[in-house]
Amino acid sequence: MHNQPRLLLHTCCATCGSWIPDELSMKYQVDLFYFNPNIHPEAEYYRRLGEIKKVSDILNLKVIEFPFDPQPWFQAVKGFEHEPEGGARCPICFEHRLRATADYAKAHGYDAFATTLTSGRQKKAEIINPIGEKLSQEYGIEFLCRDFKKHGGSDHSMFCSDDYGVVRQNYCGCVFSKKASLGQTLQNNSQSLPHVQ
């Protein structure tokens, strides 16, 4: 319905985005925003984008996408490379992505923005939502403050992604979490990290 307020939904992956847009569409006209420069390597970035497009085709949603460009993200998290998953690097990553979402939403006339990040079992809404609220004040646009994992949201994501044939991932996306998931250390693999000036 075109008289609904427009919402830009930052979408981290198809698993998290498999049911949230459908729920939000009862109140909003939803567009998906794929800005995730943390995702590594490039093939994984485009694989996840392809899965999101699979869901968007099923739900008849628009996807706003960006080419693979991780260097600004690596610059943003510089100095936090050795932080564990869920440590001090993650809020910087969240803000980097949500800032781009708020900026795009404001510039393109959206009424609100939100993120699927809070549907992840390991992603803490009490960290993510205050970042969104801060950016809401800064940009003068509403942030939809939700914890999408509540009330069975994480399980619902799994059920819907199975129904849609979505391929899931086994790490959050960044090179550091991938190394952790493989039981590797940054010290032993520092040669493979992109160079940051």
The confidence score (pLDDT) of residue 37 equals: 97
Quote the pLDDT of residue 188.
Answer: 47
Q: Any idea where the domains of the chain sit in the sequence?
A: 6-192
Place 187 in a pLDDT band, splitting at 50, 70 and 90.
very low
DSSP state of 29: E
Cα diameter, the chain:
55
Please give the backbone phi and psi of residue 177, each rounded to the nearest 5 degrees, phi first: -70, -30
Q: Is the pLDDT of residue 117 over 80?
A: yes
Secondary structure element (H or E) that encloses residue 173, with its range: none
Angle subtended by helix axes 89-107 and 125-139, to nearest 10: 40
- The answer, yes or no, to whether residue 70 has pLDDT greater than 60, is yes
| Model pTM above 0.85 | yes
Distance of alpha carbon 171 from alpha carbon 179, whole angstroms: 9
Q: What is the mean pLDDT of residues 5-12?
A: 97
The pLDDT mean for the chain works out to 88
Which pLDDT does position 171 carry in this prediction?
Answer: 72
Calpha distance 80→143 (Å, rounded): 27
Q: What is the pLDDT of residue 134?
A: 99
How far separated are the first and last CA of the chain, in Å rounded?
47
Is the pLDDT assigned to residue 167 strictly greater than 90?
no
- The gap from C-alpha 142 to its chain's centroid, in whole angstroms, comes to 18
Quick one: pLDDT at residue 189?
46
Architecture of domain 6-192: 3-Layer(aba) Sandwich (3.40)
